[in-house]
A and B are shown apart, each in its own frame.
Chain A
């Protein structure tokens, strides 16, 4: 049975586990219908031209994990940002681990989607926000919506700010030979609220994992959201990440994506600017090796006037890896005085690596400043020679130059511990040790 049929038929089994009377279930039923119609996107679809899901569809993923698995903190400590205090929402094989987590209801809600979807006290919020900006048409998003049950739920009321950053971690133990996970996150920052989130997916074995995640983020007036995605998963782990962000007046949302690992990673990052004087920032560093495939699809929809968006994606591609960047900027007719900038720089360091990039501008307003730049090139031979002539070995010299290349993106990481962690990951990925942090 192929994966689509399996998923569609599993929906019946899924219905026995959730409250079918809850209004959210109507949304689920609607969503599974859409997925049944559309199925997995093929390479014929323009948005999936460079990324094939064919291989994944052949794997017999189990949709529901068989048992509850536990992990010792010391086993997984290194995946946490343990240098600082954080709130933690941890899932093991898709199931919430209260032992590893640290949630709160003290002034802010940092807890679980399963609670939010079932408890009456959250219903008013769910009614207003759940599935409101996630696409009702895109097949993978609707697939997630159909099976939405668990994930992180974060609600920051007006003028509040959680005391520490929030980590969302998904571990897969490999107890199943192949597992499909569909976490669903909802993050709401009310007026003047501020928060920082770090999201990470980690597989602990070499068994196949496919994660199809959907995150909805709502930033109300003047809210500030800082979101970091750390993607350094095992070679058998694939991730399809769909993030939808709705911004209101004067809100600032930044999303940083660090892609170093995984088999296939697809990031669909969608910004909708429903207000004026909004600032949206997307930055990313991608360093790939082996047969890895990372696909960044960004969309910024400028709906109202006087907004800004900034995109900066850097990629270093080695061995047989493939990188894709598709950045789309839409400026509506009334969105005058929009400033939209996009930059995508790539370095190929292997003969077999491939980069496909497609920056796309669709502009309907005349009084705008929009630009996009894209480069593909190599490390500067002269700079390399300069460093070597001063006694720095070639490997380190190359790494140093690549660090410099990626540094623009790292500069805007506001959590110093995270920044040094990312630096270490980059060093690890480049196979060098540098005696300093950038």
Chain B
């Protein structure tokens, strides 16, 4: 490799410099509460241009007028929005000095997931030796991406470096006023990722790998913007199979995908935030707005594996604006103990010959509640729209619930819509069959759950599919009586 240690050292030095900007503000975390001054202060701290500040203020104004939505099938103590500090600089100091100090239960899970020691350190916030393999891998990746003209950086960086792209596309899919949490995010988003794939470029790697190693603490209000220019392709993976014990109770992220003519975006999420303890205490509230727009012949594919969070409120959607565009949604949502998930998708068919597929698998165990909420909308001009939806729920134990709320609105006679949903439990005969062949009940259930979720797991990038499979097992551990 032409990449010498010398260069690496240099790169790391400049990297330090990049972050140097944070050092002088590290001490001053903004006061608790939210008002216009805070929004301006956040914008200022991020050294944003004035249009961005105005944009945030507009969002804040809209947010003030809005009420927290209550339609979702979840119950929780509403967060007090004035009791949150909306900005604190990412803490660059390591939390622990060695892995020995980390919660052994957490390490046990890492081991089960097969996560490398270095990554474990990174994920738990243990101080990491500077010269390790992963960093050099990361920098090589960055170089490869740059050669192709792909921009992949934090959104704050993009606002400064590529304002024309950000200004054009931010809020174009999820407008500031879209919903309560999107408005809040627009006003106060701390950081996030920005990705631009130029015309005709096929991103040579899963952006996931890079992401997992280099992700800095992006805070609770994350903003992601992915733009695939004409004829390009990108596969993006967000999140991590590793459990993250974030002390932030409320997460309100916004993800916008823009797929221009003939492009394809594959966006996969694995979410495993702290779901609260066995008695339902604590846990992360995850209120996410994710939406993509497809121009002509474009394709957006959402794949998600949701196992964490106390409350999940998430509907990755596709607006199929261009003719012949395709939207896909593959989801596995697992809830255990006292978790509540209300998740699903929206497929809005506007263009001709648009197609969408929805495969949703819900698994509820313990005392959890799992809801699928979806919308398939065919406008009067969307000739020959086609949709296939399938929502299956698996119930384990008699104290959990599975719910489906699929909305279908069709205004065009050429549309073909199929929707089916089933709810059942794991068949006793299936378990008996496994037992009889020497597979114990716990393993048998894992096997059956895997089969049940296979259609979705298959859509994940390979290495994550393997981890996600193990994750399902771990999430359902002990749920079988």
Chain A residues in the interface with B (C-beta under 8 A) = 46, 333, 336, 346, 348-378
Contact = CB atoms under 8 A, between A and B. Distances in A.
Interface of B is mostly: strand
Given A351-B413, A358-B408, A374 B419 contact: yes
Q: Which among A356, A361, A364 has the greatest number of chain B C-beta atoms within 10 A?
A: A361
Nearest to A342: B421
B403 A336 contact: no
Contacts of A364: 400-401
Interface string B383-422: 0000000000101111111111111111111111111111
28 contacts: A336-B398, A348-B412, A352-B411, A353-B413, A354-B409, A355-B410, A356-B408, A357-B407, A358-B405, A358-B408, A361-B393, A361-B403, A361-B404, A363-B395, A367-B425, A368-B395, A368-B424, A369-B423, A370-B424, A371-B423, A373-B418, A374-B408, A374-B419, A375-B416, A376-B408, A376-B415, A377-B415, A377-B417
Contact of A361 (B407, B408, B414, B423): B423
B92 interface: no
B398 A365 contact: yes
Contacts of B396: 366
Contacts of B423: 361, 363, 368-371
Nearest to A326: B407
Contacts of A377: 415-418
A358 B395 CA distance: 22
Contact of A375 (B402, B405, B407, B417): B417
B421 A375 contact: no
B35 interface: no
Given A362-B403, A375-B419, A349 B413 contact: yes
B408 A366 contact: no
Contact of B407 (A352, A356, A368): A356
B71 interface: yes
B456 to A, nearest CB: 19
B380 interface: yes
Given A360-B405, A361-B421, A370-B422, 20 more contacts: A354-B411, A357-B409, A358-B405, A358-B406, A358-B407, A358-B408, A359-B404, A360-B403, A360-B406, A362-B403, A365-B395, A367-B425, A368-B423, A369-B422, A371-B423, A372-B420, A373-B418, A377-B416, A377-B418, A378-B414
B409 A355 contact: yes
Interface string B92-116: 0000000000000000000000000
Contacts of B413: 348-351, 353, 378
Contacts of B400: 364, 366
Given A369-B424, A375-B418, A376-B416, A363 B410 contact: no
A357 B408 contact: yes
A374 B387 CA distance: 11
A351 B412 contact: yes
Nearest to A343: B420
Nearest to B392: A371
B410 A376 contact: yes
Contacts of A352: 380, 411
Q: Which among A46, A348, A363 has the greatest number of chain B C-beta atoms within 10 A?
A: A363
Contacts of A358: 405-408
A373 B401 contact: no
Nearest to B71: A46
Contacts of B406: 358-360, 374
The 6 closest A-B pairs by CB, nearest first: A376-B417, A348-B413, A366-B395, A374-B419, A370-B423, A366-B425
Contacts of B414: 378
Nearest to A340: B423
Contact of A363 (B402, B407, B409, B412): B402
A362 B403 CA distance: 4
B426 to A, nearest CB: 9
A22 to B, nearest CB: 40
Contact of A359 (B401, B417, B421, B425): B421
Contacts of B419: 359, 372-375
Nearest to A377: B416
A217 B402 CA distance: 30
A348 B411 CA distance: 8
A46 B410 CA distance: 18
A351 B425 contact: no
B73 to A, nearest CB: 8
Nearest to B365: A366
B449 to A, nearest CB: 14
Contact of A374 (B395, B397, B403, B417): B417
A368 B415 CA distance: 32
B410 A348 contact: yes
Given A348-B412, A354-B409, A363 B401 contact: yes
A355 B385 CA distance: 14
A371 B410 contact: no
Q: Which among A350, A362, A369 has the greatest number of chain B C-beta atoms within 10 A?
A: A362
B405 A372 contact: no
